[in-house]
Amino acid sequence: MVLFALHSAFRVPRVSILLFVAGLALSLPCPGQNEPAADTAPDVLVLRNGDTLHGKFVNEIGGKVNFHSDPLGDISVAWENIKELHTAQKLAVLDKTVKLRGKKAAQQIPVGTVDVAGQAVTVHTESTPSVAPIPVKNAQYIVDRPTLDKQLFHEPGFFTGWNGAATAGASLVKATQNQYTVSAGIGLVRSIPSVAWLDRRNRTSADFTGSYGKITQPAFLVGGVLVPATVTKSAIFHLDGERDQYLSDGIFALVQTAFDHNFAQNLQLQQIYGGGLGWTFIKSDKQEADVKGTIQYEKQKFIDGASGSNQNLIGSTLALSYLLHTKLVTYSQNLEFIPSYNTPRAYSASETNVLTFPTFKNLGFSVGTMDTYLNNSPPSEPPTKRNSFQFTMGLSYAIKSKY
């Protein structure tokens, strides 16, 4: 009874406890309470004709300023049509006369609010001394700070950052002879950084092309003599992968592997493993060209398996690749010559050309050729031709990274 009386005497009402907790919570500082509010002032774009737009500066790439205004939406204006530009947000201005390579390049890029007047870009940085005005003709790229940090200091995950295209085609004939052919291909490239306004650090690529066809003819009688049924097939497959690590703006070291099968040339499997150097001698938003050379191990296995036909080779891959992007067409070309040093007659060569015409969104129509030459294919019946040529048409789907 005594203990119960003491407990009842010192019991705090529940309402008092709730009021105490609420008062304590209100007295504590809220997250971000003392932080300055984000600057929501609009950016201002003054055109040459005197029109003034309020909105958000998106970026400037190659002399084109991209600006968003609520009444007009997204617009693109050339520098010569702009009188003034004033931003409230902090931007990074990349001067094309300054080489930018690696993560240390961030120290050379001025970041701050931007004013453009008199064909000069002034960046108001927090550091001192202030940055000298940059002529608009040299301000090749202007981007926001988060985009710059993302490209300089972050790497995309393995399954992100890929660009390329996938194609597929087929034909079917049902008549005296039954015939079908299917073809497919996919090409993927991931470059880091993924933007053209920073020097590339590395690049990874993977390609697959293949076609398979069959013609069947039933047995028939000719003058009482039975001609047996025949089956003719064709199969050509190519798979390769490459990793490039850039040593400078255009020079890169590479490792590569490639696998080829060509039934028409009696080639069961050709394997290539090698490494070497390359040079990107053309790089722009519209086109790119590389030349490269490797030292490699090559193993050839032929379908007939005749003694002495299979080869273990030491050789090289000398290659030239070219890529062109326009609004109407995308064109890619790849040339390869593969000499062998320990067996000089065992050389090969190939040329691949692909034209893709965009039709609707990511869909397109593609036309391609692949010409291969294998000099040391073994004798067979019927005689094997050293040259193999295929022409393909099909639908194409563009794979575009959102990184």
| CATH class in words for 163-399 | mainly beta
pLDDT above 90 as % of the chain: 53
Per-residue pLDDT reduced to its tens digit, 310-364: 899 999 999 999 999 998 999 999 999 999 999 999 999 999 999 999 999 899 9
Per-residue pLDDT reduced to its tens digit, 256-271: 999 999 988 889 999 9
pLDDT (mean) for 191-199: 83
Per-residue pLDDT reduced to its tens digit, 177-191: 888 899 999 999 999
Contacts of 362 (CB under 8 A, 6+ apart): 397, 398, 399, 400
Locate the domains of the chain by residue range: 43-153, 163-399
Rg (Cα) of the chain, in Å, rounded?
A: 32
Q: Supply the mean pLDDT for the chain.
A: 85
59: enclosing H helix or E strand:
strand 52-61
Tell me what pLDDT residue 259 has. Answer: 97
User: For residue 340, what is the DSSP state?
Assistant: B
Per-residue pLDDT reduced to its tens digit, 22-45: 443 444 444 444 444 445 689 999
Report the 10 Å Cβ neighbour count for 384. Answer: 19
pLDDT (mean) for 382-394: 86
Give pTM, 2 decimals. 0.76
More reliable by pLDDT, 318 or 195? 318
> Under a CB-based contact definition with an 8 Å cutoff, are residues 204 and 189 in contact?
yes
Per-residue pLDDT reduced to its tens digit, 41-95: 899 999 999 999 999 999 998 889 999 998 889 999 999 999 999 999 999 998 8
Tell me what pLDDT residue 172 has. Answer: 86
Is 176 exposed, middle or buried (CB count within 10 Å of its CB: 0-12, 13-18, 19+)?
exposed
